[in-house]
A and B are shown apart, each in its own frame.
Chain A
Amino acid sequence: DQQVKQNSPSLSVQEGRISILNCDYTNSMFDYFLWYKKYPAEGPTFLISISSIKDKNEDGRFTVFLNKSAKHLSLHIVPSQPGDSAVYFCAASGGSGNTPLVFGKGTRLSVIA
């Protein structure tokens, strides 16, 4: 029973274009959402997060959108760069601080020069 779903295992985008990575969740108790980026042989690196009281958070080339009614969030990367090629994980937590993260299976992004 997956509470956080990333339905696209892979995505290929041309350099300079927009990358859109999607994530759906089922647990209404989740109130904090994060995106992590992972290179091989490294741990996940935090990218950007959003609280459920917001519908958008922006940090440089990265923007996360949250649609609570649809239980859907997305990560936009503009413009995409070859160094963005990695596996991206969506994660959610809820209830209160110090609650564990629930991860999706990840989406492998390939940015083609």
Chain B
Amino acid sequence: DAGVIQSPRHEVTEMGQEVTLRCKPISGHNSLFWYRQTMMRGLELLIYFNNNVPIDDSGMPEDRFSAKMPNASFSTLKIQPSEPRDSAVYFCASSLGHSNEKLFFGSGTQLSVL
């Protein structure tokens, strides 16, 4: 079975540019999560969706970040404009049911903003 699929694996961009990260959750999973991981702060939840509806976006750093889930098999995380402090690994994860069940992670996107 395919796991959570993220693209791109690596993204290098310049400050001020728009960045779009993509995620395809495991088929049949109802919840989708976007996390950011840095050495300093560890894994931080940015936003999560249940049945394609955003439930908790309190972790989204600021208005530069936005996330969408137009259907059950696709989600995007967009940063516009990007800044060097956004450099991190961004993980997408999905779970079968509600938000406190075990998560399955994608391989992540390593983002570097120069």
A binds B: no
Q: Which residue numbers of B lie inside 8 Å of A, CB to CB?
A: none
Q: Which residue numbers of A lie inside 8 Å of B, CB to CB?
A: none
